């Protein structure tokens, strides 16, 4: 069995015309040589591309690469991570069905559950991320999906993936893990018995802040209903995006190895800085899920979240004094991006609503890039020190 770095480079490649790199097949439709070829295709006796919404050679190569990385039978690509999540849920749910989500899922995943699903008369239970007994008690005869995320955004909480798989298997429920922060390099949910893995491929898989895509991976029979749903409603990435995704994945291993090391150093630095109240990073012994992360993860990722001492004024002063790190949403690219969740992700919520969800004014998320670690730490340090001196 090939190792991850070899899969990243060679997995799924469609090297037509003796090309080393899978080419961009920029077409919306495909022709049949004759009616006999068409009949064989309809009967399933002949592999042939038909229409761009259904399949494309460049997209197919990217899907095969990601499936092999995750150890899944099939991968289905979408035009965004949220599109992947929405299509997966809606492909399996119908009126009066029931879904369970853990409460620390990505905010817009929660919005699907709270805003979209009730319109279809679909019941939703939101259970605390560490309340495994509560998850079991929430299950009823109409429960179809158990959806969770690990590590979570922004607090980097870790789910016991094995327990989630065990609960789902014992109750004939489809288990879904959003593993965007985990990446195929740091964790493999399918190996623990999870049914479906989802990625925002915009992040670490693409790796260069230049594409938007989503991926769903699992066994062929589990992907089939999602594929059929996608054929109807769309939500596909274009061939050029798939080409960029293939290119990005080829350096996945060395990029994640680098950000794992850099994030660990940044987390340790922040934990000892007088201006910082608390740091959230699974690689720190102070993180409540440290032991679990050690057990089920190869590395702890490139995201570090921390609370600054002070309030909104000090936080804004810190953000405005950064020189290398960029104030921006998202993560996973070469550039270190700093996010202020209260004003960037939760700006539509009231302050009281944000605080109830744990999104404090002084909460900051750092998505570590590929710059020299000493330069990143110096930049963070000088911004913290300027903030600290004026308190």
Domain ranges of the chain: 4-249, 252-389
What is the percentage of the chain residues whose pLDDT exceeds 90? 86
SS (H, E, C) 307-371: EECCCHHHHHHHHHCCCCCEECCCCCCCCCEEECHHHHCCCCCCHHHHHHCCCCCCEEEEECCCC
**How far is it, in rounded angstroms, from Cα 306 to Cα 268?**
11
Are 182 and 70 in contact by the 8 Å Cβ rule? The answer is: no
Length of the chain: 391
What is the percentage of the chain residues whose pLDDT exceeds 70? 96
At the top level of CATH, which class does the domain 252-389 belong to?
alpha beta
| 350 band by pLDDT with thresholds 50, 70 and 90 | low
Question: Which CATH number applies to 4-249?
Answer: 3.40.640.10
| 348 band by pLDDT with thresholds 50, 70 and 90 | low
Q: How many CB atoms lie within 10 A of CB 306?
A: 24
Dmax (CA) of the chain: 79
Residue 95 in 3-state DSSP? coil
Q: What is the pLDDT of residue 360?
A: 82
**How far is it, in rounded angstroms, from Cα 57 to Cα 63?**
10
C-alpha angle 183/187/193, rounded to 5°?
Answer: 120
| 17 band by pLDDT with thresholds 50, 70 and 90 | confident
Are 323 and 379 in contact by the 8 Å Cβ rule? The answer is: yes
Mean local confidence (pLDDT), 147-155: 96
Q: What is the pLDDT of residue 45?
A: 85
Reported as a single tens digit per residue, the pLDDT across 85-131 is 999 999 999 999 999 999 999 889 999 999 999 999 999 999 999 99
Average pLDDT, the chain: 94
Please check the confidence at residue 390 and state whether its pLDDT lies above 60: no
| 391 band by pLDDT with thresholds 50, 70 and 90 | very low
Q: What is the pLDDT of residue 120?
A: 95
Reported as a single tens digit per residue, the pLDDT across 184-238 is 999 999 999 999 999 999 999 999 999 999 999 999 999 999 999 999 999 999 9
Reported as a single tens digit per residue, the pLDDT across 231-278 is 999 999 999 999 999 999 999 999 999 999 999 999 999 999 999 999
């Amino acid at each position: 069995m090939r190792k991850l770095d070899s899969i990243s480079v060679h997995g799924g490649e469609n090297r037509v015309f003796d090309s080393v790199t899978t080419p961009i097949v920029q077409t919306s439709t495909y022709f049949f040589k004759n009616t006999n070829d068409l009949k064989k295709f309809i009967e399933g006796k002949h592999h042939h591309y038909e229409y761009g919404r259904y399949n494309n050679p460049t997209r197919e190569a990217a899907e095969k690469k990601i499936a092999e990385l995750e150890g899944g039978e099939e991968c289905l690509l979408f035009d965004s991570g949220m599109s992947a999540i929405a299509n997966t849920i809606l492909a399996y749910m119908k009126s009066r069905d029931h879904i369970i989500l853990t409460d620390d899922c990505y905010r817009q995943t929660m919005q699907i559950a709270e805003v979209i699903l009730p319109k279809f008369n679909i019941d939703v239970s939101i259970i605390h991320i560490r309340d495994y007994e509560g998850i079991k008690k929430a299950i009823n005869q109409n429960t179809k999906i158990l959806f969770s995320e690990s590590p979570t955004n922004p607090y980097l909480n870790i789910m016991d993936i094995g327990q989630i798989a065990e609960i789902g298997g014992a109750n004939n429920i489809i288990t879904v893990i959003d593993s965007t922060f985990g990446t195929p390099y740091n964790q493999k949910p399918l190996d623990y018995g999870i049914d479906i893995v989802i990625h925002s491929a915009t992040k670490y898989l693409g790796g260069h802040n230049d594409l938007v895509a989503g991926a769903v991976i699992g066994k062929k029979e589990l992907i089939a209903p999602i594929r059929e749903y996608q054929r109807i409603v769309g939500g596909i990435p274009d061939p050029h995006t798939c080409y960029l995704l293939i290119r990005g994945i080829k350096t996945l291993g060395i990029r994640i190895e680098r950000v794992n090391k850099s994030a660990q150093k940044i987390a340790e630095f922040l934990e000892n800085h007088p201006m910082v109240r608390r740091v959230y990073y699974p690689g720190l012994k102070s993180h409540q899920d440290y032991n679990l992360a050690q057990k089920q993860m190869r590395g702890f990722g490139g995201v570090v979240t921390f609370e600054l001492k002070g309030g909104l004024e000090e936080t804004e002063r810190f953000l405005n004094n950064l020189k290398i790190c960029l104030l921006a949403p998202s993560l996973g690219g070469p550039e270190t991006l700093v996010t202020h969740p209260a004003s960037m992700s939760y700006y539509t919520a009231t302050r009281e609503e944000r605080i109830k969800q744990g999104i404090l004014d002084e909460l900051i998320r750092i998505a570590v890039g590929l710059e020299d670690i000493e330069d990143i730490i110096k930049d963070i340090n000088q911004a913290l020190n300027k903030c600290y001196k004026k308190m």
